[in-house]
Amino acid sequence: MPESLLVRIEDLHKSFPGVHALKGARFDLRPGEVHALMGENGAGKSTLMKVLAGIYTRDSGTVLLDGQPIDIHTPHQAQKLGIGIIHQELNLMNHLTAAQNVFIGREPKGLMGLFLDEKKLNDDTAKLLAMLKVDVDPKTLIGGLTVAKQQMVEIAKALSFESRVLIMDEPTAALNDAEIDELFRIIRELKAKGVGIVYISHKMDELKRISDRVTVMRDGEYVGTLNTQEATMEQVISMMVGRPLQNYVRKDQNMDANPVALEVKGLNRGRALRDINFKLRQGEILGFAGLMGAGRTEVARAVFGADPVDSGEILVKGKKVTVKIPRDAVQAGIGYLSEDRKRYGLALGMDVQANTVMATIGRFLHLGTFLKKKPMADVAEKYINTLSIKTPSQEQLLKFLSGGNQQKVVIAKWLLRDCDILFFDEPTRGIDVGAKFEIYKLIQDLATQGKAIVMISSELPEVLRLSHRIVVMCEGRITGELSAAEATQERIMHLATLRSAAM
Amino acid sequence: MNTVIKNLFSAKARQKVLAFASLVLMIVIFAVLSPNFFQMDNLISIMLSTAVTGVLGIAVTFVIITGGIDLAIGTLMTLTAVMAGVFIGYWNLPIWLGVLAAMATGAVAGTISGVLVAKLKLPPFIATMGIMMIAKGLSLVISGAKPIYFTKYEGYNSISNGSFIDFSFLVPGLIIPNAVVIFFGVGIVSSIILNKTVLGRYTFGLGSNEEAVRLSGVNVDRWKVAIYALAGAIVGIAGILISSRLNSAQPALGQGYELDAIAAAVIGGVSLSGGEGTILGTIIGAFIMSVLINGLRILSVPQEWQTVVSGLIVIFAVYMDILRRRK
C-alpha cells in the first residue's frame, strides 16, 4: 500500500571518492510511526538520511514523498518539503538565543524588510516550545542550556518547518534517563500528530520502548526490516554484523587474593567528588557505573592529576604518591584513556608510529635530541601486531583509522609507558559493534596479564560483561559496590539513582 | 531602556564594563599625574586620533565575529585614500562622489577578500594578508609613490577637520571635529546593523557555528562575502578620514593600522574565536589604546616605550578575557 507511505526510498546509490557508501539502499516511513534505523558505524545510515535531508545529493535511485518522486539538493529544499533532521552533534549556535537558533535563515522582518522583528521571533518560538511543553525561555543563550534542552530546541526548530518527517540521529547519546523520558514523551506527541520519525540508535532497550519497526543496514545495503516488538537483540545484532555473535561468558573470578594496585582514600573535590574510597587489585577490572554527571570521569581525572582535589590520598602498590599533575600519575604508572580520545588522547594529524611513542619519546632519543628511527618503528610494529591494529602502515595518519583502531593506538601508547593501572573512560564510545568486542577482549587480556583496570562506561551491558566488581556512583558519591555475581542492571540503576536526600 | 540596563549586567557585557572601567581609571590616573592631560584641546586630540583606528576597529569587528580576521584593513585604508585622490584630484569628480567611490573601492576589495575566504576556502589570515600586500603595492603604483594633495579642494579637508558641532559657547574649546562625529556615526549605524539586521544575525551565526547556519538553509558563502564587503566599505570611510585629516593621501602610510584596530577590538571583548563582540566594546578598546598613548606622551615617556606598553595592554586585556571565560 504505497499510497499510505510518507517516504519511500528505493535502490539508492551514493559514492564518495574511494567509498561506495550506499549500494541500493531502501527505506520507507509511514505517517505516525517511529522507524528505527540500525547498523554499524559506516553502514550508511547517516549517509542515507543525509540524502533524504538534502545534505548530500544521490547518485541514482528514487525518493518518493507521499508517492511523488522528489529531487532534493539542499537542506533548504528538504525543509520546505517538511523533512527535518536533528544531527547527532547538535547544530546550534551557542552564542545566539534559543529563538534566534530556531529561526536562523528565516528571521521574521519588520520595518522595510531591513530590520529583524525580535518580538515576533521570540513569540513564535515561545509558542513552539509551549506546544512541546518544553520549559525554555526563547531569550536564553543556547550555550547555557543542557544538552537535553538544546535538543528540545532543535526539535522545536524542525517543527517550525511543519516537518512531517523528522530524522533523529542518536538523540539520546548525551541524555540521562529523565531527559530520555521527556524526549520520548515529545516523540509520542509528534507520532499522534502523524509525524513520521526516523530514529537512528544503537540502544536496543530504547528501540523497544519507542519504535514500531526496525530496519537494519550493513555496508550501504538494506538487510531487512522487523517489527520491533517481535525482534530480539541477538537477531538485530546478527543482521548488523552479518554473522551470529558468540556471547561472552563472564568468569566470576574473585580477585580478593590479588595484591592491591591502587587505593584511593577520602577523595574530595568541591561538590563533584565527595569522600571517594576504593581499592583496585592487580588483574582486576573494576567497573564504574552511574548516570551522566555522577562523577565517574571526575574520579579518573582527580586520580590522574588532571583536576586539583581538596583532599584525599592515593596509594599505588601500598605506597602513598602525590599526584598534582598528570605527569606525577604517569610516573606512578597510572594511565588515563579519555572518553574523548580525539581531543585528549591522540594527535589525529600524526601517524600511528608517532602516536604510539608520544608518551615515551624520551626513550627514543640519541643525545637527547635526535629521534631514533629504527627502535620507534620496531616498537610500533610490535603493538600493531599484538593489539591487531588494522592500518595499512605505521605511516598512516590517525584520522584515517576507524574509531576502534584509534582506541587501540591510545592503548598502545599507555602500555608502552609501562602503566600498570589503566583508567578506561567510555572505551567503546563511537566504536562499531564488531570492533567493540575486540576492545572488550583486549581489556580482558590486559587484566589477565596483571594490569589493574578501571572501566567507566555508561552502557550497563558493557560494565556487566567485563567487570569483576562494580562501583556505582551518584552525584559525586559512591552509593554502592557490587560483585560480579550480585550485579544486575536493576541493582545498578537503583544505586545510580540513590540521591543523597534519600540517604 | 530596561534591556539596556539588563545587558549592562549580563555576562556578555562584563568585558565591556571592565574595559570601560579601565578606561575611566586610566583617564583619572593621567589627569592626576599631569595637569595637561585633562585640557579640552588634549581631549579633542585624543578623540581625533581615535577616530581612524576606531573606524578600522569597527570594520574588523564584523569580520572577527564571523571567526575570521582581516589583515588588509590598514593598507586598504591607504588604497582607498589614494583612490579618493585619483577620483577627486585626477578625474575631478565632485567630492561627495569621490567619497562614495573610495568607499566602493573598499567594498570591492572586501568582496575579493570575501570570495577568497568563502568560495575558494582560503584561510582568512592568508587571504587578507595577500590583499594587504596587493593594496600596499597598488597604492604606491597608482600614486607613483608620491603623496596626492587635496589642498585645491577646500571642502575635502573639512570632512575631518571641520566642525559643525561647536559647543564652545558652553564649554570653551569644545569644538568636536567632524571626524569624531563621523566615527560615532559609523559606530551607531554599525551597531544597528550588527544587532538589528539579518546580516548582523548571520555575522554572529557564522562565528558561532558556521555549519549549523549552512544546514539551516542559509547561503553562507554569500553572506560571508557581504560581511567582508561591508568591512571594506567601512575601511573606505577610514581612508577618507585619514586623507582628509592630512589633506593628502600618503601612499606609504597604513601598514600597522590593522594591528591597532584588531587590538582595539580584542581589548573591547571581541572574541578571536568568533561569535562574540560588540561595536561599543571595540570603540572603548580604541579609546583605551589612544588614551594610553596620549597620556604616556604627555608624561614624556619615549615613543619606543609607548609601543611596549601598548603591547602589554593587549596581552593583559586578552588574559583578563580568558580569566573571565574560565569561570
Per-residue pLDDT, averaged over A64-92, amounts to 88
Is A342 a domain residue? no
CA distance A414 to B165: 71
pLDDT at A500 over 70: no
Q: Which residues of B touch A167 (CB under 8 A)?
A: none
Per-residue pLDDT, averaged over B173-182, amounts to 90
Check: CB of residue B139 under 8 Å from CB of residue B248: no
Domain of residue A450, CATH code: 3.40.50.300
| Domain shared by A38 and A125, yes or no | yes
Interface of B with A in 216-245 (CB under 8 A): 216-218
CA-nearest residue to A54 within chain B is B215
CA distance B104 to A453: 66
CA distance A62 to A493: 45
Q: DSSP code of A324? A: S
Please judge whether A76 and B204 are an interchain contact, meaning their C-beta atoms are less than 8 angstroms apart.
Answer: no
Check: CB of residue A223 under 8 Å from CB of residue A239: yes
Beta bridge partners of A136: none
Check: CB of residue A215 under 8 Å from CB of residue A225: yes
Residue-averaged pLDDT of chain B: 90
Q: Which residues of A touch B210 (CB under 8 A)?
A: none
Residues whose CB is less than 8 angstroms from the CB of residue B89 and which lie 6 or more positions away in sequence, other chains included:
B148, B149, B150, B152, B153
| Domain shared by A181 and A41, yes or no | yes
CA distance A416 to A366: 19
* pLDDT number for residue B113: 97
Per-residue pLDDT, averaged over B303-307, amounts to 90
Q: How is residue B48 written as a grid cell?
A: 581625533
B213 touches chain A (CB under 8 A): yes
Q: Which helix (H) or strand (E) holds A262?
A: strand A260-269
CA distance B116 to B127: 6
* Domains of chain B, each with CATH number or no CATH: 16-326 (1.10.3470)
CA distance to partner chain B, nearest, from residue A463 (Å): 34
pLDDT-based confidence at residue A207 (cuts at 50, 70, 90): confident
| Domain shared by A379 and A321, yes or no | no
* pLDDT number for residue A41: 65
Check: CB of residue A43 under 8 Å from CB of residue A220: yes
For an interface test with A, the pick among B201, B219, B270 (most A C-beta atoms closer than 10 Å) comes out as B201
Q: Which helix (H) or strand (E) holds A492?
A: helix A489-496
Interface of B with A in 187-206 (CB under 8 A): 196-198, 201, 204-205
Please judge whether B216 and A95 are an interchain contact, meaning their C-beta atoms are less than 8 angstroms apart.
Answer: no
Q: Which residues of A touch B214 (CB under 8 A)?
A: 75
| Domain shared by A301 and A435, yes or no | yes
Chain segment A337-352, per-residue pLDDT in tens:
887 777 777 888 888 9
Residues whose CB is less than 8 angstroms from the CB of residue B174 and which lie 6 or more positions away in sequence, other chains included:
B40, B44, B166, B167, B168
Per-residue pLDDT, averaged over B183-189, amounts to 96
Please judge whether B209 and A93 are an interchain contact, meaning their C-beta atoms are less than 8 angstroms apart.
Answer: yes
Is A343 a domain residue? no
Per-residue pLDDT, averaged over B32-56, amounts to 92
pLDDT at B232 over 90: yes
Please judge whether A95 and B207 are an interchain contact, meaning their C-beta atoms are less than 8 angstroms apart.
Answer: yes
SS (HEC) of A96-156? CEHHHHHCCCCCCECHHHCEECHHHHHHHHHHHHHHCCCCCCCCCEHHHCCHHHHHHHHHH
Per-residue pLDDT, averaged over A377-383, amounts to 91
Please tell me which residue, A365 or A498, carries the higher pLDDT value: A365
Q: What are phi and psi of A44, to 5 degrees?
A: 110, 5
Per-residue pLDDT, averaged over B18-25, amounts to 87
Is A246 a domain residue? no
CA distance B277 to A235: 54
| Domain shared by A200 and A232, yes or no | yes
Q: Which residues of B touch A161 (CB under 8 A)?
A: none
CA distance to partner chain B, nearest, from residue A324 (Å): 20
Chain segment A129-149, per-residue pLDDT in tens:
988 888 899 999 998 888 888
* pLDDT number for residue A491: 82
DSSP string across A50-81? HHHTTSS--SEEEEEETTEE----SHHHHHHT
Instruction: Tell me whether strands B175-176 and B165-166 are parallel, antiparallel or unpaired.
Output: antiparallel
pLDDT at A244 over 60: no
pLDDT-based confidence at residue B120 (cuts at 50, 70, 90): very high
| Domain shared by A413 and A426, yes or no | no
CA distance B139 to B161: 24
Check: CB of residue A197 under 8 Å from CB of residue A168: yes
Amino acid letter, residue B239: G
Is A449 a domain residue? yes
CA distance to partner chain B, nearest, from residue A272 (Å): 16
| Cβ-based contacts under 8 A for chains A and B | 61
Range of the domain at A391: 349-418
Residue with cell 590583499: B131
Per-residue pLDDT, averaged over B184-198, amounts to 94
Which has the closest alpha carbon to A91: B89, B214, B286, B193? B214
| Domain shared by A211 and A255, yes or no | no
CA distance A19 to B172: 77
B15 touches chain A (CB under 8 A): no
CA distance A9 to A474: 45
Of B196, B214, B218, Cβ closest to residue A116: B196
Chain segment A21-51, per-residue pLDDT in tens:
899 999 999 999 999 998 876 688 888 999 9
| Domain shared by A90 and A236, yes or no | yes
| Domain shared by A414 and A426, yes or no | no
CA distance to partner chain A, nearest, from residue B216 (Å): 6
pLDDT at A57 over 60: yes
Which has the closest alpha carbon to A152: A132, A175, A177, A176? A132
A119 touches chain B (CB under 8 A): no
| Domain shared by A328 and A359, yes or no | no
Beta bridge partners of B176: B165
Which has the closest alpha carbon to A155: A134, A141, A178? A134
**Per the structure, how many domains does chain A have?**
3
Beta bridge partners of A320: A315
* pLDDT number for residue A380: 92
CA distance A217 to A236: 10
Last residue of a domain, one of A241, A271, A295: A241
| Domain shared by A197 and A84, yes or no | yes
Beta bridge partners of A438: none
Is A204 a domain residue? yes
Please tell me which residue, A201 or B1, carries the higher pLDDT value: A201
CA distances from A500 to A295, A296, A473, A475, B17 (A): 14, 16, 11, 8, 40
pLDDT-based confidence at residue B10 (cuts at 50, 70, 90): low
pLDDT at B257 over 50: yes
Q: What is the largest CA-CA distance in chain B?
A: 59
* Helix residue ranges per DSSP H, B66-123: 73-85, 95-118
* pLDDT number for residue B327: 54
pLDDT-based confidence at residue B261 (cuts at 50, 70, 90): very high
Q: DSSP code of A302? A: H
Percent of chain A with pLDDT over 70: 95
Per-residue pLDDT, averaged over A139-161, amounts to 88
**Lowest-pLDDT choice from A214-223, A243-252, A463-472, B219-228:** A243-252
pLDDT at A205 over 80: no
pLDDT at A361 over 90: no
| Domain shared by A167 and A305, yes or no | no
Is A127 a domain residue? yes
Q: How is residue B71 written as a grid cell?
A: 589583515
* pLDDT number for residue B200: 93
Per-residue pLDDT, averaged over B254-280, amounts to 92
* pLDDT number for residue A255: 77
pLDDT at A18 over 80: no
Percent of chain B with pLDDT over 70: 94
DSSP string across A350-417? SBHHHHHTGGGGGGGEETTTEE-HHHHHHHHHHHHHHTT---S-TTSBGGGS-HHHHHHHHHHHHHHT
pLDDT-based confidence at residue B1 (cuts at 50, 70, 90): very low
Chain segment A453-478, per-residue pLDDT in tens:
999 987 777 888 889 999 999 888 99
Is A190 a domain residue? yes
* pLDDT number for residue A415: 86
pLDDT-based confidence at residue A88 (cuts at 50, 70, 90): confident
A88 touches chain B (CB under 8 A): no
